[in-house]
Amino acid sequence: MKHTRLASLALAAGLTVDAQQAHAYDMDCAIMLCMAGGFPSSAVCSAAYAEMIRRITPWPSRPPFGVCTYAAVPVALGGPGGEDALDISTADYEWLRRTRVLWWRGRSYEPRDEPRQWDWSIRSCDHENKNCHYIVRVYGSHSPWPASFASENGQDIPTPGSGGLWAFYSRAVMMEYGDYDGAMDYTDWVRY
- What is the per-residue pLDDT across 143-154, written as a single tens digit (0 to 9) for each? 888 999 999 999
Mean pLDDT on 165-182:
82
Q: Same structural domain for residues 87 and 136?
A: no
Mean pLDDT on 20-34:
69
Range of the domain at 50: 2-96
Domain end, chosen from 35, 62, 96, is at 96
* 1-5, 51-55, 110-114, 153-157: least confidently modelled range: 1-5
- pLDDT, residue 92, reads 81
3-state secondary structure of 178: strand
More confident residue, 51 or 73: 51
Nearest-angstrom CA–CA distance, 152 and 126: 11
- Give the number of domains in the chain: 2
**Which residue stretches of the chain are H helix?**
2-36, 43-56, 94-97
Domain end, chosen from 73, 96, 119, is at 96
The band of 75, judged by pLDDT with boundaries at 50, 70 and 90, is low
Nearest-angstrom CA–CA distance, 55 and 37: 20
